[in-house]
Amino acid sequence: MIVERDVVVVGGGPAGLTAAARLAAAGLTVTILDEQPELGGQYYRRPAPEVARRWGDHRREGGELIAGVRAAGVECRTGHLVWGLADDDRTLLAEDEAGRPVRLRGRHLVLATGAYERSFPFPGWQLPGVTTPGFAQHLAAGDHTPIGERVVLAGSGPFLLPVACSLLALGVKVAGIAEAGTPYRPGRRALGTLRHPARLRELAGYAARLARARVPVWQGAVVLRADGHDRVSSVTLAAAGRPGQAIRTVEADALCVGYGFRPQTDLARLLGCEVTADPGTGDAIPVTDPAGRSSRPDVYVIGEAAGIGGAPTARARGLAAAHDILARETGHPVPPAEARRVATAARRLGHFTALTDALYPSPAQLLDALVPALADSTMACRCESVTAGELRADAAGDVNAAKARTRAGMGPCQGRVCGFAVAGLVRGGAVFPSRVPIRPVRMTTLLELAAEDGPA
């Protein structure tokens, strides 16, 4: 059976929730799908009930937004994994938390599928205790659980700072932050932050907290390797300009490394939405108009899936998409004052995103620095145990050819973890193709789906 709705929203983060609430409040039938057991996405991730009772909600506005979505009458299907597309190119295929197949179709599809962290391999990255900053943040801010007792944060981007502060709040010793770029040195580019006083105050708050805790911030530094037996015990850093030459070794029982975020566009690409390579990141970015409408008139791509910009930008994009859908459904545009307010907020947020991108090294610059120093013996694709040397030997300038010949990117993560490095090692495009299933799906789900379709 196919469930029909006016709008189907995929993703229950800030963008998807904002769009769903506005559309349902206007009277449209809306279903929101999210693979997590609770709505909120990564930014508004809900704490476990026992954690919430003891510590409260670390992002109360998220709880209020979710409550507003439910009050507006949105059908909320959590624990639903969207894994494919039916032959009609319109019906989404999903499985619920019990593994039962689900088919949904909407006159409008709103894809708010979010983003994932950008990783790059190094010797020892498969050791226990090595993880991403996002995972450490979920444990710290959401569950009040420290990732370790003595932690090193590394990579690039502003996200490293709030993660460090969340760990400090739990009493963790943050041994240091290795930032690949030099964004915190005074310069002309940094003067642009003066136009965004709220964000500047936020940054100053993080800096003050780190200074009080005497956390060193090593700019222009990257991870050379992690060492340990049963768990990481030390981290060796190198200068970003000379990534093969060690400059210091730091004791740690946890290492969190991430180089920003990548838009999650596999579902948009599966639906045939036009994408373009972002000139700064190489990531596949859906081509959309200001309202998020893609090259397919019935598909909108919003939030981080439309380009990394943070939660405020995601919410602005969600509202813009909802306004466009309402205008198409009712024939009446939203009040001009409301439309102007949303557009102005989106432009201002876009300016800040561009400023942030300029302060930190681009992914292309990171690849230029990191790839030459990566040892051939390093495991580049952990799912399929493919080394950097095997990929270099297959450097045909085509990630798809490298995937076929080495199996890199064919594991459960489907290249989400290794794709950035694989692209740099083979000197090819940065995104693996999107194919069904876009997520691992139970065999029982497929068999039940086939049984529903009958002998045909």
Q: Of the residues 317, 332, 357, which one is the last residue of a structural domain? A: 357
Three-point CA angle 362, 366, 369, nearest 5°: 140
The pTM score is 0.92
If asked whether residues 319 and 396 sit together in one domain, one would say no
Q: Of the residues 307, 335, 357, which one is the last residue of a structural domain? A: 357
If asked whether residues 274 and 332 sit together in one domain, one would say yes
Give 341-397 pLDDT, tens digit per residue: 888 888 888 877 888 888 899 988 999 889 998 999 999 999 999 999 999 987 667
Give 148-200 pLDDT, tens digit per residue: 999 999 999 999 999 999 999 999 999 999 999 999 887 666 656 666 666 77
Give yes or no for a cis peptide into 297 (omega within 30° of 0). no
Q: Is residue 108 part of a domain?
A: yes
Give 24-45 pLDDT, tens digit per residue: 999 999 999 999 999 999 999 8
Q: Is residue 388 part of a domain?
A: yes
If asked whether residues 192 and 282 sit together in one domain, one would say no
Q: Of the residues 206, 229, 258, which one is the last residue of a structural domain? A: 258
Q: Is residue 363 part of a domain?
A: no
What pLDDT is attached to residue 455? 66
Q: Is the pLDDT of residue 456 over 60?
A: no
Q: Is residue 365 part of a domain?
A: no
If asked whether residues 233 and 302 sit together in one domain, one would say no
Domains identified in the chain, total number: 3
Q: Is residue 366 part of a domain?
A: no
If asked whether residues 107 and 145 sit together in one domain, one would say no
Q: 332: helix, coil or strand?
A: coil
What pLDDT is attached to residue 400? 83
Torsion angle of C-alpha atoms 161, 164, 166, 169, degrees rounded to 10: -130
Give 268-318 pLDDT, tens digit per residue: 999 999 999 887 778 889 999 999 999 999 999 999 999 999 999 999 999
The rounded distance, in Å, linking the Cα atoms of 343 and 112 is: 19
Mean pLDDT, residues 314-328 taken together: 95
What pLDDT is attached to residue 345? 81
Give 61-120 pLDDT, tens digit per residue: 999 999 999 999 999 999 999 999 999 999 999 999 999 999 999 999 999 999 999 999
Structural domain boundaries, residue 76: 2-116+262-357
If asked whether residues 87 and 127 sit together in one domain, one would say no
The rounded distance, in Å, linking the Cα atoms of 112 and 348 is: 21
